[in-house]
Amino acid sequence: MRKRNPGLAAILLLLLCFSSVEAVFGAVTQTIRTTGTGVIVGQDQASAFEQAKKAALREAVEQAAGTLVTSSTQVASFVAVQDDIRLQTTGYVSRYVVVSQGAMDSHTYQVILDAEVDLGQLHRQLEAMNLLIDAAGDPPLLCLGKEVVVTDHAEEVAWGVVAEQLEKGLKSASSHFSLVTPWAGQWQEAGALELARSQGAEVLVTGKATVRSLPSTRIPSGGDLKELGISSAAAEVVLKLMWVDTGEVVATLTQRSRAADRSFEAAARKAVRQGVESLTAELVKTLLADWRDKVYSGREVQLQVQASADQLRQFERDFPISVGGIDALYPRGFSAGMARYDARAHSQGFQIARELSAKGLGDLNVEILLVTNNTLQLKLSD
């Protein structure tokens, strides 16, 4: 009997594995035909060609990204990184072939090309959003919403559409967002932060939709929509994004929308959903930009320190040295044995607390009374 060559068997097995990998990941690139145009200035067709080529490549990357953005991925996550994708077009194109080129007229140059786009690289870029959420400490978010119908007077209704649509939008943007169980009861704007604190949230998104009935609309065939049993509604949606511990308002976003349906309530609910949905991408983009700034450019952590005057002097001297990533410590006031500071830091409050627990502050005893991403309460003793 002829003996098998184990080396040859191993090589064959390896080739089979590579073939399987190629079969599974064969669609990791996608070839897309796109058209770009450039402006001819002073008969400079070479520069116009480069401009048109870049436009076509950018269009190819955006189209490829669109194939990844389905209901099973995330529209909002694409919008959040879209600017980065546009700036890095060449990094996503494996190769391209110019199909045709030429001047369309004396002012416009056109390029048609087939571009091979690396979908795997695009997907990794979309997934980078999840890494940023994790780097920010994955702060728990609470969404509060309310709807107010204005007729002869303003009446608050308990539809729950705003909060439901906010949560839906955030979940579709990324599964890494930590959403606090939504609050089903009534809430007032003056007490929203305190309510969020009681629910363990660190980031609060409030949404208020003000809904009004629209006058009947004439239709070309004669008559109006109301005669056909159709009601119209307009909604103004205002979203506010803020940090719970500091009360910092990161952004206020506003959107107006209209909708029609078989009843005023159905039309109003639809208008509210559309308004919140249209703001979701901007909300996610703003939220991530704020977290990116805090993670990579430094955040401001508020410190409240119970201590004597001598202990505070030692704290001010040793704290920036003992804890890594502290750029500066700013005294903000002292009263009733409590000193307030703002620390410019590259670490979250939890990381600062861990370092204080591990390293201490010289011969001072440090008791951590409260910690969030942006706030620390400490008690010092000898």
Instruction: Say whether 261 sits in a helix, a strand or coil.
Output: strand
CATH of the domain at 156: 3.40.50.10610
Residues 142, 290 within the same domain: yes
Residue 6 lies in a domain: no
Residues 103, 217 within the same domain: no
Instruction: Say whether 289 sits in a helix, a strand or coil.
Output: helix
Q: Pick the last residue of a domain from 294, 318, 341.
A: 294
- DSSP assignment of 212-231 equals EEPPP-B-TTSSBTGGGT-E
CATH of the domain at 373: 3.30.70
Residue given tokens 């920010």 in the structure block? 136
Angle between helices 161-173 and 75-87 (to 10 degrees): 50
* Best mean pLDDT range from 1-5, 15-19, 133-137, 251-255: 251-255
Q: Pick the last residue of a domain from 133, 151, 167.
A: 133
Residue 237 lies in a domain: yes
For the cut 60, the answer to whether the pLDDT of residue 351 exceeds it is: yes
- DSSP assignment of 133-192 equals HHHTT---EEEEEEEEEESSSEEEE---HHHHHHHHHHHHH-TT--BPPPP-S---GGGH
Q: For residue 347, give the nearest of 302, 315, 291, 301 by alpha carbon.
A: 301
- Identify the band that residue 297 occupies on the pLDDT scale cut at 50, 70 and 90: low
Residues 141, 258 within the same domain: yes
What pLDDT is attached to residue 371?
87
Residues 272, 347 within the same domain: no
Residues 141, 288 within the same domain: yes
CA atoms within a 13 Å half-sphere pointing along the CA-CB vector of 98: 12
Model pLDDT for residues 157-188, shown as the tens digit of each residue: 889 999 999 998 888 878 788 999 878 788 99
Torsion of CA 67, 70, 75, 78, to 10 degrees: -30
Domain count, the chain: 3
What pLDDT is attached to residue 10?
40
Residues 143, 282 within the same domain: yes
Residue 8 lies in a domain: no
DSSP 364: B
d(CA 269, CA 151): 16
Residues 316, 187 within the same domain: no
d(CA 173, CA 378): 36
Strand partners for 102: 110
What pLDDT is attached to residue 26?
39
pTM passes above 0.85: no
Residue 234 lies in a domain: yes
Residues 6 or more apart from 206 whose CB is under 8 A from it? Answer: 143, 144, 145, 189, 192, 239, 240, 242
CATH of the domain at 32: 3.30.1660.40
Model pLDDT for residues 60-111, shown as the tens digit of each residue: 887 776 665 543 344 444 555 555 555 556 667 888 999 999 999 888 899 9
- Identify the band that residue 199 occupies on the pLDDT scale cut at 50, 70 and 90: very high
- DSSP assignment of 20-84 equals HHHHHSGGGEEEEEEEEEEE--TT-HHHHHHHHHHHHHHHHHHHHHHHH-STTS-HHHHHHHHHH
CA dist 136 to 9, 74, 341, 349, 351, Å?
49, 20, 22, 11, 11
Residue 124 lies in a domain: yes
Residues 53, 151 within the same domain: no
d(CA 343, CA 54): 44
Residues 84, 213 within the same domain: no
Residues 49, 141 within the same domain: no
Residues 141, 236 within the same domain: yes
Residue 74 lies in a domain: yes
Q: For residue 186, give the nearest of 153, 149, 159 by alpha carbon.
A: 159
Residues 248, 280 within the same domain: yes
Q: Pick the last residue of a domain from 294, 312, 330.
A: 294
Residue 13 lies in a domain: no
Residue 9 lies in a domain: no
The residue segments making up the domain with residue 343 are 299-381
What pLDDT is attached to residue 20?
34
What pLDDT is attached to residue 91?
67
